[in-house]
Amino acid sequence: MAATTHRGGRLWRSLSFLVALPSVGVCMANVWLAQRGGHRPPPPSAYHHLRIRTKPFSGATGNHSLFHTPRTNPLPTGYEI
């Protein structure tokens, strides 16, 4: 019983170092290259029903959600940037 546990631990350790860590590195490089390239957000979609406001959001302006990011979340009139 103990021998199979030791082999299982060795397998997961190998998978962690040979698969998981390089995958994280590739994802980090992808994000870094995307930010470095001056990525501009796409124009807001033409689907106006996605941005209907029946009542204002709680907050100062009432038009921004709790997790609003001006670069990625468009308002009904478009992006703020």
Tell me if 74 sits within 8 A of 51, measured CB to CB: yes
Burial string for 57-68 (b: 16+ CB within 10 Å, else e) reads eeeeeeebeeee
- Position 5 confidence tier, pLDDT thresholds 50, 70, 90: low
pLDDT digits (tens, 9 = 90+) for 29-80: 998 888 887 767 777 777 778 778 788 888 767 888 888 888 778 887 778 8
pLDDT digits (tens, 9 = 90+) for 6-30: 788 899 999 999 999 999 999 999 9
Tell me if 71 sits within 8 A of 42, measured CB to CB: no
Is the pLDDT confidence value at 1 over 70?
no
Question: The whole model's pTM is what?
Answer: 0.45
Structure confidence at residue 64 (pLDDT): 85
Structure confidence at residue 70 (pLDDT): 85
Cα separation of 18 and 80, whole Å? 43
Structure confidence at residue 25 (pLDDT): 96
